[in-house]
Structure 1
């Protein structure tokens, strides 16, 4: 476990400024931009990201909850953006935990498939989708640790926490 934790970083800040091979966007199913992290990534990354998203929408109709797609990073420091659609919190009895875990798992698989050695995650679904931050942090950390345990293709995972509350929950889950 110690070796796995050494491959994980926790930061509070702006994911659009993180230097990793790819960053993850907490997108909506249309992939055409929105608020929060999604809007910030589209604004900072420029039109190339939206152009790639439009091609994906034309080809497959968007992205379903728990799934992930990849685009260019545009003007971002990251080479790629992995867009994943988190679940809207509806009390936790409608498959939300598994759907959220799938966001992390499928994003990591897509990163490995595109030869990314480093990836940065926001707090998927913890904004307007209303997922309780404490529960979301537990799922995020468990899913990432489980993935890293069975895969050495990823050298670094960065949890980029927009707010101090989520930052504290992630650190607590990692025993930092």
Structure 2
């Protein structure tokens, strides 16, 4: 059965096998959720990220969670919105790559933020539709793998978009 939990709050305070970081290509911290995750995790997260040598847009890499309630952080780099069709493909790849990394690491719970909807400018409604469809499709394709998936909205607008999709 396809199930995506929609929640609202601070992803850095949520317990799971992994939370997803909407990172930049360097993986060395930034603004928004990326900065919040790095600040909450401790300097060891930055040190481990330095060993990863960045990440391509649409890909994902995993680190430990350090001082976070989550055991791991899966860092993915969303597209900076340009209006091009490839933006949607890259965003879809973020969700799919993150879920594949979680499966490959034998993780069974993951919490996503609304990737690329902040400073990267992706329209929130379109991003929510891509996220929900990609996660649902991945769950169907990997139906023998048990993983709890949640999407964490930071504000009311994003929360409402995901709630409408989940209804």
Compute the TM-score of the two structures, normalised by the length of structure 2.
Answer: 0.97
> What is the rounded CA distance, in whole Å, between the counterparts of 2:110 and 2:44 in structure 1?
20
1:5-60 deviation line (CA, Å, top 9, x unaligned): 2xx21111000011110000000001100010000000000112111100111xxx
Which of 100, 104, 108 is the matching residue for 1:109?
Answer: 100
Query: 2:165 aligned with 1:173, yes or no?
Result: yes
> What is the rounded CA distance, in whole Å, between the counterparts of 1:77 and 1:153 in structure 2?
23
Query: 2:121 aligned with 1:130, yes or no?
Result: yes
> What is the rounded CA distance, in whole Å, between the counterparts of 2:15 and 2:140 in structure 1?
23
Query: 2:65 aligned with 1:73, yes or no?
Result: yes
Tell me the equivalent position of 2:148: 156
State how 1:77-88 maps to structure 2 within 5 Å.
Answer: 77-88=69-80
State how 1:41-60 maps to structure 2 within 5 Å.
Answer: 41-57=37-53
Cα RMSD (Å) = 0.9
How far residue 102 of structure 1 moved from its aligned partner, in angstroms, is 0.1
> What is the rounded CA distance, in whole Å, between the counterparts of 1:122 and 1:168 in structure 2?
14
Q: Would you say how many aligned residue pairs link Structure 1 and Structure 2?
A: 166
Structure 1, unmatched stretches of 5+, are none
Tell me the equivalent position of 1:19: 15
How far residue 94 of structure 1 moved from its aligned partner, in angstroms, is 4.6
Q: Structure 1 runs of 4+ off > 6 angstroms? A: none
> What is the rounded CA distance, in whole Å, between the counterparts of 2:155 and 2:82 in structure 1?
22
> What is the rounded CA distance, in whole Å, between the counterparts of 1:14 and 1:41 in structure 2?
10
> What is the rounded CA distance, in whole Å, between the counterparts of 1:19 and 1:153 in structure 2?
20
SS of equivalent residue, structure 2 residue 157: helix
Structure 2, unmatched stretches of 5+, are none
Which of 19, 26, 30 is the matching residue for 2:26?
Answer: 30
> What is the rounded CA distance, in whole Å, between the counterparts of 1:147 and 1:48 in structure 2?
31
